[in-house]
Structure 1
């Protein structure tokens, strides 16, 4: 029988910096309504595909919980089947945790709460949308740089802005604003990447005046201003002079914060110890650079997004993290933030020569069934088959096998009971892996034969078969939290509510008391006091 752990014992791991991973195994919708600070969203139906990169060490402590839905026991069994050896269920689930600790709304909350703490401690400068619009209309010497991913920038952007993702800001900013007299405005969709991006430039000692666009594109929209779409302007690659400046400034700031640089021998030792201490090795450069060439074993994690969404790459709180770049800038700036967020983060020294082969920890046993399966052609010939799609609902809406029903992965048994027809059921998902992982669950929930679509929906499309949009749902989907800062169709009340929520995160952190965040003050030359405390978060 799977052991249990109390909420107090779980929180002691965080408070003491010991390794632990906490998994919310419900769907993302309910997760975004309430969860502990360091919880990860890993729905029970996606464990086999989502968990291994988040928790690469099989002996790492893993805790699962739900809110009474009955998912936790199933999740624990599936995690143990992958080979994880230290799995526990949170005693009493979310309700029990809420009696001793804070629960938080939304997603990527550790990064967002930390961003609010940074602004509160460092008084990160910002300007409201109306003032930025006035400056742009007056054609003053001002440049707007968008710290989000390029894809988000292209969806909607501030008029006249250009894409400069947060992890690239210090690296490229002098190309976007070569004159020290230029006002630099950093924006994102809401607050976090604007704050962290602006403060990164301030920390690096950029001589320009730098401000965040207060509340990002949300603030712009709430002011009644118009956003542009389908823009493609990007800040150019840095010149040799810019790289030299950025390298010197990033090194100085990282040293001030206390970011250790390690060489090949240190990394080899960390890798040798990875069976006992979880290790993440991440390449923080632009994904295109990673795709061209990167050291063996380093996964792509663009620096700005890594800081914005640590829980999408780093599942085990208390683990080691080693960051790589080839310029001496981006890894140091990203690591400086991770260290302040309580991570044991290092940068790989420039020029370190690494072996192509090295010892790796025992990997999870993610052997997914290949059958029984139907090829796309065979499925097209089966008029009596009913297709059930386990894709996330946005992907399902964008395109699915004609006639396919959408089902909840965690509540698959419930949804299959509502499925019309009496012929065989064919499970699919975008690449077929989630469908395969849930084959046994489906077979146990119905007397109807259950098959897989070989290769998933992608294989169906690759052979030229049509996809259908829209859809039919066996239950109201709760698999996605509608983010009020993405897209162009958000309700004003939702956007304002999101900003109001972010603004109270510092108080919630203080009441919770387990963050282990610290915000580094300015360099020694500054007149700022370098030590104070804000309940549960320390400053140095």
Structure 2
């Protein structure tokens, strides 16, 4: 039975060693504006898809919060239906927390960003600003620009001439990247803003690379603010093969970091023991290799989260506080280095599997393969089967095809994904009713319980769950567009774009990178830099 937690009780949890998760179920825009330090964001519309991987054991303590307590009641019912049985909510929400003078913060992935600024200040991580970098490029100075973001981010836009080397791959690949470069070639590390650039530069600084290494101050955002154009559609994302010398250098470095930072190594028997513990407590088993390696063969039970993103999004990786983490790769370098960052972030029980997938296979254990990253890491599929709540919704909610909907329009068509996705394209005449506010906002658009309603979203999954909710609360003539707007577009039916018909200012989306306007970029970068001021004072 779910129970309320007073603000004082929640504050006590933060000062204890009890494993627990504080999950904010509001939308990213709301979370970005203000949230409780130490909370993790899983919007209500994502609970059925993300919660099982975020909280691996159903008996772990989960405390939910929103602004005033209205949405929490619906979220509690959802996660109890998912099998979680140790659930609470913050009584009075964040509003009451603030009224009692407990702290809040703004931004997303704040623990990692704060840590990045600390690393820069404490270790004097060298950097170069965009104007100086451009001047050196114009002078024809020797340099290689390494973009430590995900390959998807890199392909969308990058510093002209840069190549993609995700942060978790830097130490493993850098020996081979620089093997044929002149000794006076500078290595420039960049990301979209600051954190991944700082962390990547620090990796090479600590490794003792025998050449100049600098981070690009403020990343691609700083490049844009300096008045320069980004390159779009770059294809320089093929990683070099790892030579014996490159692997040896990376593993020697990883061993040193593990020893200095307190990372513990596991053998296969030790991993078995950790798997036995996971029957009674939440534990995180994370594979930090590339997506291609993970797809080819992985240890059963390991979730994919590439090493650089693990550090960038540590509060998304380890949602349950005080829970153990086990990292693996194909040897030990990438796993141990990611584990060392988590130790520096303050996590107490952190392990690396010595030998990784190779040791597992050598022990005669089978590797899994053949299922896509998206299927394994989107909670719509858990253990290879569709989540029970989504499957039940699929059985209980009538579906209508795109052609049938076009020929026979209902009284109301609603779209329940984000405002950004609504603006990209929706069935003409649709009303935006975000799933997180469904029960409260549906009456603004539907006057009678007998009205015919068709629920839509991007791909047909959020709409299934939303339609099931509407039928449960009395809107019996509710159907869903099979396959969502994706199927509508596949049928070559016209879509409407923009925020047509939206009366409330959306607060659900956080823009990043060049999607921000100039003022937002400036304020964001200043906020990030300011996080390090307390460390400079120390």
Fold-level match, TM-score > 0.5?
A: yes
Secondary structure of 1:80's aligned partner: helix
**Hey, what does 2:16 align to over in structure 1?**
16
Match of 1:424 among 432, 444, 452: 452
Separation in 2, partners of 1:476, 1:16: 41
Equivalent residue, structure 2, for 1:312: 316
Q: Is the 8 A contact 1:282 1:322 kept in 2?
A: yes
What is the distance in 2 between the residues matched to 1:325 and 1:466?
Answer: 46
Shift of residue 301, structure 1, vs aligned partner:
0.6
Which one has the bigger helix percentage? 2
417-426 or 276-285, larger mean C-alpha shift: 417-426
Q: How does 1:358-507 map to 2 (within 5 A)?
A: 366=389, 367-370=391-394, 371-376=396-401, 377-419=403-445, 423-443=451-471, 447=475, 449-461=477-489, 467-470=495-498, 472-476=500-504, 478=506, 480-483=508-511, 485-487=512-514, 489-506=515-532
The aligned runs of 1:36-47 (5 Å cut-off) are 36-47=36-47
1:56 positional shift:
1.7
Q: Do the aligned partners of residues 285 and 36 (structure 1) sit closer, same or farther apart at CA in structure 2, a change above 3 Å counting?
A: same
| More displaced 10-residue stretch of structure 1: 5-14 or 462-471 | 462-471
Counterpart of 1:52 in structure 2 is 52
1:352 aligns with 2:362: no
The residue aligned with 1:104 is: 105
Question: Which of 251, 256, 259 is 2:255 aligned to?
Answer: 251
Partner of 2:137: 136
Gap regions ≥5 residues in structure 2: 369-382
* Partner-residue secondary structure (3-state), 2:40: strand
Between the two proteins, the alignment pairs up a number of residues equal to 507
Mapped partners of 2:491, 2:224: distance in 1: 43
* Distance in 1 of aligned mates of 2:481 and 2:336: 45
Q: Of residues 206, 210, 214 in structure 2, which corresponds to 1:211? A: 214
Match of 1:334 in 2: 338
Whole-angstrom distance in 1 between the partners of 2:506 and 2:462: 17
The match for 2:327 is 323
> Structure 1's 128 and 468: CA in aligned 2 closer, same or farther, altered over 3 A?
same
Whether the 8 Å contact between 2:284 and 2:325 is mirrored in structure 1 is yes
TM-score normalised to structure 2 length: 0.86
Counterpart residue number, 2:85: 85
- Report the Cα distance in structure 1 between the residues aligned to 2:61 and 2:532, rounded to whole angstroms: 28
Deviation of residue 441 (structure 1)?
Answer: 3.2
Identify unmatched segments of 5+ residues in structure 1: 511-531, 535-540
Q: With structure 1 as the length reference, what TM-score do the two structures score?
A: 0.86
Deviation string, structure 1 residues 5-40 (Cα, Å, up to 9, x no partner) = 233432333333331111111122111100122212
Q: Is the 8 A contact 1:408 1:479 kept in 2?
A: no
Could you list the per-position Cα deviations for residues 68-94 of structure 1 after superposition, in whole angstroms to 9, with x for gaps in the alignment?
161122222222221111111113321
For the aligned residues, what is the CA RMSD?
Answer: 2.8
Structure 2 matches for 1:177-216, cutoff 5 A? 177-178=178-179, 179=181, 180-216=183-219
Q: Deviations over 1:194-247 (max 9, x none)?
A: 111111112222222211111112222222223222222136323412222222
The CA distance in 2 between the partners of 1:236 and 1:47, in whole Å, is 35
